[in-house]
Every structure is written in structure tokens, then in C-alpha cells.
Amino acid sequence: MMGSLGFLHTPALGSLPLSSSKPTRNKLHLAIQKPIGVTSGSQKFLGHQTFLFSPRISIYRRVQDSSTISVLVTDDSSTMTSTEEDTDNIGILGSDPGLEPYKDHFKYIVRKYAEQKALFEKYERGLEEFAQGYLKFGFNREEGGVVYREWAPAAQEAQLIGDFNGWNGANHSMEKNQFGVWSIKVPDSDGNPAIPHNSRVKFRFKHGDGIWVDRIPAWIKYATVDPASFGAPYDGVYWDPPSSERYQFKYPRPPKPKAPRIYEAHVGMSSSEPRINSYREFADDILPRIRANNYNTVQLMAVMEHSYYASFGYHVTNFFAVSSRSGTPEDLKYLIDKAHSLGLRVLMDVVHSHASNNVTDGLNGFDVGQCSQESYFHTGDRGYHKSWDSRLFNYANWEVLRFLLSNLRWWLEEFKFDGFRFDGVTSMLYHHHGINMAFTGNYDEYFNVSGMPGLGRPVFEGGIGFEYRLAMAIPDKWIDYLKNKNDEDWSMNEISWSLTNRRYTEKCISYAESHDQAIVGDKTIAFFLMDKEMYSGMSCLTDASPTIDRGIALHKMIHFITMALGGEGYLNFMGNEFGHPDWIDFPREGNGWSYEKCRRQWDLVELEHLRYKFMNAFDRAMNLLDDKFSFLASTKQIVSSTNEEDKVIVFERGDLVFVFNFHPENTYDGYKVGCDLPGKYRVALDSDALEFGGHGRVGHDADHFTSPEGIPGVPETNFNNRPNSFKVLSPPRTCVVYYRVEESEEENNDSVLVGVNETLAADAGAQQENLKESAYVKDNDIDTNPSNV
């Protein structure tokens, strides 16, 4: 359920929602600055040589350096104005001349941004204050009482009702101002709040037809439902705990990592038992696992309240409220603080592209047929997303902007989230919302409404300001290969091209699979590879079948090459790191409302006699490799060989050399690989190591000395355009990474450098033991169906 996505880290406020909400599996791919194609004996420079292509021009261009991508908001030195001189200087055109024909478009969005920002400054004392709407709207303590405000211009009369007045609003009528905002102050009683903490409340109003309706307040901070009553409506809850019950954060936000390694997680389905997990259980039981596998960022799905659990959190009903299924707002704060204590940053999966069409529980209940100017949503077809059966925001409305921008700040300030992953950006960008639209890379497809190129560039350059985008074409390519191609037909050129085909200077988060690929009706990579044998052939007590041997080998290779070559960050969905079997199926009428497949079977990776542990250990090791060598953050990305006959891909990321042998049978002894720097190389990581379920065919104590190739500085005389080379052993279906031994390190600290691969494995093993000792999984309570082998 994802359209095009963007990531924002170290967020600040300074950009606006874009236009209007999100097609199921309708991917939007960036207009591409195509890197030079690779064949055997050639190379690809990402970030150094790019092929810019548009319908009008087609050129090669050498770019000297890549610049750091800024965060969402610009600093004072880059403040934009609406003068013609400023809008003529669009920085993004400097890195992509192919966008020159669309300069007027960029001038337009820069001017509109500056005009909107000026309006905020004129009428709201700036964007920062404008985005603190939660201090004014909804329920807030003010001197001597509780003040409640609600924007509902279509209402004719309004009352506040709840437990505090016996659901009779006769004595709590509200007043309306000229902007359509209703308000009431409920005085304290005997020094105590007249509306008790954790009591139920609703907004009752009469619309034009003379009918009174009850709705959950739009800015409500907590909403609950009676779990014992099937299909019961939600109630808004006044949440203002006393200081003794309010969670106090203890730990600062961790520093921003050089490159995000993201663990995508769903709290509700994170239990090993068939039930909904809690925020506190996730914090105590799951966060240590994530940290042990060397991720540095957690992305939480389904945080915003959503009445329909099976929507995966994408049909939001209450935007300022945490999902009550997993606990209270204070419980979520505990989770985030615990993550920070472990050095994990926390991203929130935010949905501002559309809203649930649920009238009883959600924002849609405020739409009673009024005009678009008086509603959160557009009217008619423009306000409805037919693929998602949901409502689309009217981003032109002042109060809609206040609502959504304040919503972002609320989660940052109140809960200490470190950033967001925005869902459904395609639908926000385009009036067609991406429905029945296939993007081919032709720049004309991206403009005249709003421009896709520039999403990942700073606002002051004419970009939109996201820091990363998700490389959504990558998992599609892997699914295509696993479904439709024999191993012998896998194209090294095509794999390399799919992983490196991204816009220069716009960072990407790569992933082989996310929650999308795990939903019922689809398959995870592990299940594509091993299918039913995952239930019968994962025991280490017997030899692995050819299917299992191939499956585990390719599972490691697919995830690792995606991480190493596919972007500037990496994402994995909860459980896929160890090849979790089964798809995800939320409780629904069609499965008897069962939670059986809406959980994670953590015991599978804990049991020593099962092979799931090997995939998990390799996942931990490849993350640790980035910890040690920071290759994801390196702008040096060079594919030197994609040999179709050998089925081998060789590339450099940073100063590491990666050798992937996808051939199902061939071992290459003395295989020559090109490299940049001369010297001595050793194994840093080996997927064929025994500790990762491999066959141990590659020696880790061997030194690989380079030989010069051709004339220095003349690439065409070099080996695969690389000035040096060394020879390696490359078994079938393996990936091996080599690092260069620095002479000074070798002289001073040789003992530390022996067997980096073993160091990775040892660290992984130690962390695994620590995890076991913590007894986070209670084996007695877990159904181990796939482990019955």
C-alpha cells in the first residue's frame, strides 16, 4: 500500500504538503539521470558520470563532486524571496541541465513557496508558530479551566459532550468565530479539572439539514474503543495525565548516523503470540533484537490511530492520537525513549496523503456535504481516491495546512520522533494520484502539476526538501526475477542497472523487500526461494536440500547486493532478516478474525537446530560491516564488471571491493577483479562462511596482493578500467567483500586485522548470546509450527 515515498531526518519545519493521496502498488519512479551502462569490462560511476536524459536532450556530463543533501528546512542564509532575480537562479538546474526546459515550473514552485511562507509570517507570526496548532485547537489547559476549539465552519450549532456532563451538551454550547472555529471553556470545579483525565469526549454539532451528529474531535490526542463490543465506535479521550503519571524522557536523541540502516516494524504484530503486542513489550523485547542486528534506525508503522487494524495503519482516523491497541501515549513515549537509550533513532510512518473514509470515527465525519473551502477534503471525485476508498485532503485550505503541519510538529515535540517516512507522495504530487499512470522517465510526465525531479534536493535549490526517497523499483525487479526467470537467465547487467538507476545527488533508501511484499497474497523473498520446504527442510540435523541451499545463499546475496549497491541507506522489514515464513494476514472475516499469521515467530531464529539463524547472522554481519567501513555513506560507487557469461558482478563502494557470483554451479579460482588502490586485500565478509550457513570454501587468512594494470591515469589501458587488480576464489552463489590493509595499521596493529570476517561473526555470536540471556522470547508460549522438523 505505498505510492512514492520520501524520508525526512533531523526534521524541522519549512516545507508544505504538496498537492493530493496514494495508489495501491502504483509506483512512481523518478525521472532518471541514467548512469553509463555496464557491460563486462566497463564501469559505472555513480555520482561522477551521469547520462542525463529528457525528451529534448541526451548528453553525457562529468560531475566533479556530490553535495550534501540538506534537511527539510533551510537556514537563514538560504531564505527565499519572491523576487524575479531570486527565482531566476534555480540551483537544481546546475546539477541537471536536462531540467532547463522546465525552469518556469521550478520558478513557479519557488515563488509559491515564498508567497505561502510570507503569508504565514504576516498572519501567523511565522511557520514555526503556525505549526503549533495543537496549542490552540483541541483540548488545552488554560488558566482556570479546559479550552476546547474545533474548526467546523459547516456546523450551525455545536456542543461539547462526554462522560463529564453525562453526554448532555445543553449546558456546554460552543461559540463560533468568523473563521469557522468553535470554542468553549469548561471551568475547573473546586480546583480540579471539570473534564477528568482519561474520560470520553465528543464534538456534537448540527449541520445544514438540521441533523445533530456526534464526532471525535479532530485534534484528539487519544481515542479508544470497547474491545468487548464488536464493531463498536471509537470515543475521543481527554488525555492530560497528572505529572506523576506523565512519562518523562530520560535519554537524548542519538546523533544522526552517516547512513540510515532502517528496521521497518509494526508494533501490533511484533509478538510471537497470536495477539496484538504493546508498545512496552516491543520496547523491552524487540528493540534489543533490532540493536543486536546493528540497525541504527527504527521505522514504526501504524502509530496514528486507525479504526481498521487490517489497513496496516494507512487509513488514519485520528491524526494526533496514538494507536490505542498497543497502549497509551505514555507507553509510546517509553518505547521511543528506550530506543534512544539503545542508540536507535525512530522514524514515524506518517500518512498525510489521504484519510480514512470512516465517518463515525475519523476526520471524514466533519464532511457533511459542505463546499471544499469549508472542509478538510476536496469535494466530488477530486476528494476521493477510488483505489484506496479514502478521502483526499484539500491542501489549499489554510486550516488543513495548519492541521497537517502541526501534526508533524506534534509527533516531533511530544513524542521525540526523529523523523518521518511520508507515505503516498505520488498521490500528493499529482492530480491523477498515480492511478493508471506508468512513469517511463520522460520528464514531461513529471511536470505541469508538480515535479518529481528534485524531491530529494533542498528547498533553496528549487527542490521539495526530502532527504531520501525509497527505491521502490528494486523489490519489483527481484520479484520479477524470482517469479519469472531461471537462475541461468539472470542478467548481471540488468541487476546492476536496476540497483544503480537513480538520480545523481538525490539519496535513496534501498530495500529488497518491505511490508508490501509480505502481505497476504504475495510472498517474501525467502518464501519465493524455498516455499513449502521452509516447513520441513530447515533443520541443521540433516543435509540441506538443493532448494534450501540455493534459497539461503540467494537470500543473503539479494539482500546484501541491494544494500551495498542500491542506495545511500538500507531498509528491512521485521522478520525478513531471518527469512520469516508465511505471509502477513491481519484478522478479518475471511480468516475467522485470526491473529495466527499476524505475528512474528522469533523462536525460529533462536532455535540452534534451525537454519533461520544463518540468515539472521548474515544480516547482522552486513550491518556491522557498514558500521566498520561506512560504505553506504561513501560517494565512491563503481561497477567495474558485470560478466554475463560468468554471472559475476564486481564493484567498489568506498574502498571495499565486492564480488558477487550468481552462477549456480561455477567456481572461479584465481578470478581477476579490478580495484582502485594498490596494496594488500583481505576478506572482510564472506557469505559462504560456515557461521552464515555456507560451505566455508573461501580462506579468510589469505593475503591478496594487487598488480598494476596498464598506464596509470589512462583507464582504457587498465583492467576493466581499474588501475589495479588482484585474484580471488569465487564459489557459486556467494558474495565476498575485500578490504585494503593499510600499511600503518599492518605494522602497528596486525593482530586486529587478521580475519575481519571472523570479527564480524564473533561480534554477531556474542550479541546472539546476550540476547538469549535476556530471555526476551518465552519458548514455552510460542507456536513453533515451522520448527517441527
Identify residue 529 by its one-letter amino acid code.
L
442-456, 549-563, 701-715: least confident range: 442-456
65-79, 345-359, 466-480: least confident range: 65-79
Which pLDDT tens digit goes with each residue over 279-289?
999 999 999 99
Q: What mean pLDDT do residues 202-206 have? A: 97
In a 13 Å sphere around the CA of 327, the CA atoms on its Cβ side amount to: 16
Contacts of 434 (CB under 8 A, 6+ apart): 3, 4, 22, 23, 26, 27, 28, 426, 427
Give the pLDDT score at 787.
39
Distances, alpha carbon 574 to alpha carbons 298, 518, 580, 721, in Å: 10, 10, 9, 40
pTM beyond 0.95: the answer is: no
Reported in sequence order, the residue ranges of 680-749 that DSSP labels E, i.e. its strands, are 680-686, 704-705, 707-708, 724-730, 734-741
179-193, 456-470, 650-664, 681-695: least confident range: 456-470
Distances, alpha carbon 549 to alpha carbons 543, 580, 734, in Å: 9, 16, 11
**3-state secondary structure (DSSP) of residue 669:** strand
The mean pLDDT value of the chain amounts to: 84
Task: Label residue 2 by pLDDT band (50, 70, 90).
Answer: very low
Which pLDDT tens digit goes with each residue over 17-31?
333 333 333 332 222
Task: Label residue 503 by pLDDT band (50, 70, 90).
Answer: confident
% pLDDT > 90, the chain: 67
Instruction: List, as one string, the DSSP characters of 225-253.
Output: --TTSTTPPPEEEE----TTTS----SPP
Task: Label residue 444 by pLDDT band (50, 70, 90).
Answer: low
Give the pLDDT score at 596.
92
Q: What mean pLDDT do residues 63-72 have? A: 25
- How far is 593 from 230, CA to CA, in rounded Å? 11
Q: What mean pLDDT do residues 110-132 have? A: 95
- How far is 220 from 240, CA to CA, in rounded Å? 11
Contacts of 195 (CB under 8 A, 6+ apart): 139, 146, 162, 164, 186, 201, 238
Name the one residue in this structure whose C-alpha cell is 576478506: 683
Task: Label residue 87 by pLDDT band (50, 70, 90).
Answer: low
Helices (H), 44-177: 84-88, 92-95, 103-124, 127-130
- How far is 451 from 470, CA to CA, in rounded Å? 17
How far is Cα of residue 196 from the mean position of the Cα atoms in its chain?
A: 38
Task: Label residue 69 by pLDDT band (50, 70, 90).
Answer: very low
- How far is 22 from 427, CA to CA, in rounded Å? 5
Cell of 158: 455545536
- 372 touches 94 (CB < 8 A): no
Task: Label residue 764 by pLDDT band (50, 70, 90).
Answer: low
40-49, 359-368, 520-529, 695-704: least confident range: 40-49
24-38, 230-244, 478-492: least confident range: 24-38
Give the pLDDT score at 762.
63
